[in-house]
Structure 1
């Protein structure tokens, strides 16, 4: 699907609302949790279908050297405007990426497979250009949010996936690569806030398949994962002699 300027404006208006900002923050928290064991310094990450660069900016702040790719020139221009010289961004087709094999350490596809004619081919392309890992985020067809999301024009165009359908596609594209997965936003959209009646329960990171937004992180190498970044905060100092 080709996204035009009206789609961009609609998406940015949604992100500017309290619920949109809340949802985006929880999605970023989930991605951070599942990629915490990935090294950052000097590591490259390609986001396929980068849109206006919201997640590219998040990955850049997390420490990755980021590159964006999107089929829409409007979205590429928006990403360049948002990040400036911090990002390389170009027009490209997710199903025929303009990159050599193993061009990047990591590849991200966040809410993009829902809009592609051949999502399995896009996953295979992601695996082709990634050396170390692939992360996929998608809206969950097996969630309460789907009933209220029908009124959102952009999501009305999306193909929603169940976790089981996504597992199948990942297995076919990535083989037996180990996958970490979880979800956020388990309640309807009306509960996406910090106040009553649910007091921020939407922030809970939960096992699949209950959340509106699911993320799968696959490790493509046999190297053991590093200690998650957040674990260092609670580590006790050791003595040196």
Structure 2
């Protein structure tokens, strides 16, 4: 994770999330996570985002109703996150492999696109599971995807720093760490990065929730104690997800007027 301490890389990250492809990737990541955690209780629940970067996903978790905390190894990233969220979140400087928190200090933990950039991804997962009393949600860019196969065409320099992992490898790590509970697996962003744009066909293909491993971004939700709320599926789809995504969309559109996501 040391690459994120470089000021040029931080600027590159900012440019990527503001680009057409990066904006769609971020919105797709939000859609995938909201789908995975739709059954989690939120009000009064403590949520830690590991690898919070500039706080864009942290803001989504805040709008979802969690009491949010962010952690990152880059002081530059944390400065931007603090400017974005102000007093709505707490932020800590630290490493994902050695979280500065007590066992079960948080209800839920999110590990978003961190495993690809660390030397010991299993240690990151173990730490997330240690500090989460109820559940963990993980996202990782997949080695089985078209994004990986055509990665040399990606406009993001972050791609060359990634340590690509297969969904099978992530599953193997989690099987060794999780003794009980329920796991939900899905993915998003089916097309290569050249299709990450808001044309009718490309937008539809890349916004669909796919089976685990098929899309560029895979997600796993681990419910340690099977703590999901008994919410009917229709309510989850028609109310919970759009409410969170629309709030985030509004804030992203204000910062990036050129975004056309879901229009």
User: Is the structural similarity TM-score above 0.5?
Assistant: yes
Q: 1:97 to 1:234 in 2, by over 3 A?
A: closer
Q: Secondary structure at the match of 1:141?
A: coil
In terms of mean alpha carbon deviation, does 80-89 or 150-159 score higher? 150-159
Normalised by the size of structure 1, how large is the TM-score? Answer: 0.91
2:195 paired residue among 191, 196, 199? 191
Contact 1:36 1:229 in 2 (8 A): no
Residues 172-217 of structure 1: CA distance to partner in whole angstroms, max 9, x if unpaired? 2223431101101111112222315545211110102210001100
TM-score in terms of structure 2 length: 0.84
Q: For 1:142-185, what per-residue CA distance to the aligned partner results, in whole angstroms no more than 9, with x for missing partners? A: 00011333343212111111111110111122234311011011
Picking from 166, 169, 174, the partner of 2:170 is 166
Separation in structure 2 between the aligned mates of residue 13 and residue 27 of structure 1, nearest angstrom:
17
More helix by share: 2
Tell me, in whole angstroms, the C-alpha distance in 2 between the residues paired with 1:42 and 1:191. Answer: 39
Q: Tell me if structure 2 keeps the 8 A contact 1:36–1:228.
A: no
Q: Give the number of aligned pairs.
A: 235
- Check 1:230–1:66 CA distance in 2 against 1; reply closer, same or farther (3 A cut): farther
Alpha-carbon separation, structure 2, partners of 1:233 and 1:172: 33
**How far apart are the structure 2 equivalents of 1:195 and 1:109?**
30
Alignment partner of 1:32: what SS?
helix
Whichever of the two has the greater Rg, that structure is 1
**What's the counterpart of residue 207 of structure 1?**
211
Q: Tell me how far apart the structure 2 counterparts of residues 176 and 64 of structure 1 sit (CA, whole Å).
A: 24
Q: What are the ranges of 5 or more consecutive residues in structure 1 without an aligned counterpart? A: 236-241
> Deviation per CA, 1:26-60, whole angstroms, max 9, x where unpaired?
11011001100001100110011111111101111
